[in-house]
Amino acid sequence: MRPSGVVTLIEAVRPKQWTKNVLAFAALLFARRLADPNALAMAFVAFGSLCLAAGACYLVNDVADAERDRKHPEKAHRPVASGRLSPRTATIAAIVLMLLAAGCGFTVNYDLGICIAVYIVMTLAYTFTLKHVVILDVLTISLGFVLRAVAGALAIEVEISPWLLVCTFLLALFLAIAKRRGELQMLVMAEEHRETLGEYSQYLLDQMTGVVTSAAVMAYCLYTFSSRTIQEIGSTDLKYTIPFVIYGIFRYLYLVHKRGLGADPSQLLLRDKPLLASVILWAIVSGIIVYLPGAP
């Protein structure tokens, strides 16, 4: 393949979207294993496997949605939709990446390999079926985030808190609903691009957002006050991270409703400095509390 073709292929697997896979390190952080070289290596393998799997699924999605993407103001520029990458090349690359992703997972342990395989199967089911089913589409996206967190826990062989899984699911659901709202705002005739978008309305999505936002904030608060959480980290200070979570969610809602953003959560996180700052501060404060109990 020519150098230009390699660059195009790299663009098609959307490395900018791989920021979602940092969830694989959540278990490493809260299990206090950051200083464990072996655990750190296994977490990176999990992260890499998820990136390979995600890249493969993006390629399959672009081949399947090429015609629809050509009607979209931004997606029309994607390599497959624009004709810069042939469907055949994209399909072959996707198969290779899927095999590599699952193979890397199985080199760590059986459970991680199965988790990566489940992630691939679920994402493919989303591409071909579930994204066309109203409500199930956003639920599937959210479960994908949960699998990322689970993969990180399986890689280092620790039990992940049920509360953390619930919080991950609700936060991901919040982002998925916001993404649908952003897509509706971007498309004048949403039905012409994806039938499912025509089943949503901004009012419906706003109602769903209100429910999920309340649930996510409450779940995280309960997580920080949970006796199991306090016992695991040896401190009650995790409650001091609640303001960062609330600010981050409210900032995101502001960007979606007042700035018309939200169609691309990954890029929005990287581009909006206040939002990015809240995430970084949450991570820093959480790290201090988890690794230095008694130092809020």
Task: Write a three-state SS string for 98-127.
Answer: HHHHHHHHHHHCHHHHHHHHHHHHHHHHHH
Q: Is the pLDDT of residue 196 over 60?
A: yes
Averaged confidence pLDDT in the chain: 88
Task: Assess whether pLDDT exceeds 70 at residue 41.
Answer: yes
Radius of gyration of the chain (CA): 19
Residue type, 170: L
Note every long-range contact of 222-227, with CB atoms under 8 Å and residues 24 or more positions apart, other chains counting: 222/163, 223/161, 223/163, 223/164, 223/166, 223/167, 226/161, 226/163
Pick the CATH number of 1-160 from 1.10.150.240, 4.10.910.10, 3.40.1080.10, 1.10.357.140: 1.10.357.140
Instruction: Give the pLDDT mean for 135-158.
Output: 94
Using alpha carbons, select from 12, 28, 23 the residue that is nearest to residue 290.
28
User: For the packed helices 136-156 and 110-128, what is the interaxial angle rounded to 10 degrees?
Assistant: 170
d(CA 223, CA 236): 11
Q: Which two tokens stand for residue 172?
A: 């991901």
Share of residues in the chain with pLDDT > 90 (%): 56
Amino acid 27 reads: A
Band the pLDDT of 19: cuts 50, 70, 90.
Answer: confident
- Asked whether residue 180 carries a pLDDT value surpassing 80, the answer given is yes
What whole-number distance in Å separates Cα of residue 220 and Cα of residue 168?
A: 9
Q: What is the pLDDT of residue 170?
A: 95
For residue 295, name the pLDDT band (cuts at 50, 70, 90): very low
CA end-to-end span of the chain, whole Å? Answer: 53
Query: Closest by alpha carbon to 232, among 145, 282, 160?
Result: 160
| CA-to-CA dists, residue 119 to 55, 140, 144, 241, angstroms | 12, 10, 7, 30
Token pair for 280? 């970084």
pLDDT in tens, 208-222: 999 999 999 999 999
With cut-offs at 50, 70 and 90, classify the pLDDT of residue 291.
confident
pLDDT given for residue 294 in this prediction: 53
Instruction: With cut-offs at 50, 70 and 90, classify the pLDDT of residue 189.
Output: very low
Per-residue model confidence (pLDDT) at position 72: 72
* pLDDT of the residue at 195: 65
Helix axes 37-64, 136-156, angle to 10 degrees: 150
**Residue 293 contacts by C-beta under 8 Å, 6 or more apart in sequence?**
233, 234, 235, 237
Chain segment 85-142, per-residue pLDDT in tens:
999 999 999 999 999 999 999 999 999 999 999 999 999 999 999 988 999 999 999 9
Mean predicted confidence (pLDDT) in 24-41: 89
Tens of pLDDT, residue by residue over 239-276, are 999 999 999 999 998 988 877 666 677 777 778 899 99
pTM recorded for the entire structure: 0.88
Please check the confidence at residue 149 and state whether its pLDDT lies above 90.
yes
Looking up tokens 């769903």 gives 208
Q: Are 46 and 24 within 8 A, CB to CB?
A: yes
pLDDT score at 194: 59
